[in-house]
């Protein structure tokens, strides 16, 4: 056993112990955003010259939703061609000719070059199953699909009809969707509504539980846009020019923002 022989050594040990305790207390209270010793989440809020530590795992948790409506300003059409032939070269040639006719008609309809892009291109063998699980080669299939953006919504039906007529029996129309190209302004409106909704819910919870809603501890956001899609997943034959035109209706679209807020309880 070792004993301290002088009072000076005893004082030094006591001072060192006190310093270590002070360091531990400061580390627990000041927080640098990397977590705390017991693994719970905490947020530091400064009030005047002091810092208050709030646990984000406790308090009032309120979800807010804000939704605003707007009219679409673009239509996005997914269409292209699909050719099945005995050889790859034959299928590719047929698909290329049909797609070239579609693209030419799109340009003639006033669709800008930047609004026509390739969405998918593939070449694959096609098989059918026969007896005993055997496969029989049917031929080779070439698929070339475009994504076409239209800025004149009233022309959507006419453009689809012209593309189908130009592409003939190889034409495939996958879908037509109406969208809002720039949703930033609508998202701002929805964001304000979502925050107001979260505050109202938090105040309701606090009032019913006879507590006081404290300051905001944390908030997170998620946004989503609801754009309907008119599906048309079938082969389209060449159209009779005397037939009725295809019609599409954009309607109204919704832009929503959701927030998850945590408030302290005082």
- The SS3 call for residue 161 is helix
Q: How far apart are CA 157 and CA 3, in angstroms?
A: 97
pLDDT tens across the length of the chain (266 residues): 333 333 444 443 334 444 433 433 334 444 444 444 444 555 555 555 555 555 667 799 999 999 999 999 999 999 999 999 999 999 999 999 999 999 999 999 999 999 999 999 999 999 998 878 788 999 999 999 999 999 999 999 999 999 999 999 999 999 999 999 999 999 999 999 999 999 999 999 999 999 999 999 999 998 666 655 544 443 444 445 557 888 888 888 999 999 999 999 98
The pLDDT of residue 245: 87
Q: Which residues pair with 257 in a beta bridge?
A: 66, 223
96-104 CB contacts, 8 Å cutoff, 24+ apart:
96/144, 98/167, 98/168, 98/170, 98/171, 99/144, 99/146, 99/167, 101/166, 101/167, 101/168, 102/146, 102/163, 102/166, 102/167, 102/171, 103/146, 104/166
Q: What single string gives the DSSP state of each residue in 206-264?
A: HHHTT--EEEEEEEEEEEEEE--EEEEEEE-PPPPTTSPPP------EEEEEEEEEEEE
- Residue of 259, 220, 203, 266 lying closest to 45 (CA atoms): 266
Q: Is this structure's pTM higher than 0.75?
A: no
pLDDT value of position 129? 87
């Amino acid at each position: 056993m070792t004993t301290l022989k002088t009072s000076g050594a005893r004082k030094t040990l006591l001072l060192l112990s006190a310093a270590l305790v002070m360091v531990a207390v400061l580390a627990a209270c000041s927080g640098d955003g990397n977590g705390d010793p017991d693994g719970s989440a905490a947020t530091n809020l400064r009030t005047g010259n002091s810092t208050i530590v709030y646990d984000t795992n406790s308090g009032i948790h309120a979800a807010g939703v804000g939704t605003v409506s707007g009219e679409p300003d673009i239509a996005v059409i997914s269409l292209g061609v699909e050719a099945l032939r005995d050889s790859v070269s034959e299928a590719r040639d047929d698909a290329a000719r049909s797609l070239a006719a579609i693209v030419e008609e799109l340009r003639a309809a006033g669709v800008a070059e930047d609004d026509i892009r390739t969405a998918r291109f593939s070449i694959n063998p096609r098989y059918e199953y026969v007896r005993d699980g055997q496969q029989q080669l049917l031929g080779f299939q070439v698929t070339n699909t475009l994504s076409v953006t239209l800025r004149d919504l009233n022309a959507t039906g006419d453009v689809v009809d012209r593309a189908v007529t130009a592409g003939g029996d190889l034409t495939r129309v996958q879908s037509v969707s109406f969208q809002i190209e720039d949703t930033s302004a609508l998202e701002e409106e929805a964001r304000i509504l979502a925050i107001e909704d979260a505050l109202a819910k938090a105040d309701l919870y606090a009032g019913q539980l006879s507590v006081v809603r404290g300051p905001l501890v944390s908030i997170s956001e998620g946004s989503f846009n609801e754009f309907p899609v008119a599906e048309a997943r079938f082969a389209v034959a060449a159209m009779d020019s005397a037939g009725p035109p295809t019609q599409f209706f954009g309607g109204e679209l919704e832009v929503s923002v959701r927030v998850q807020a945590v408030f302290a309880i005082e």
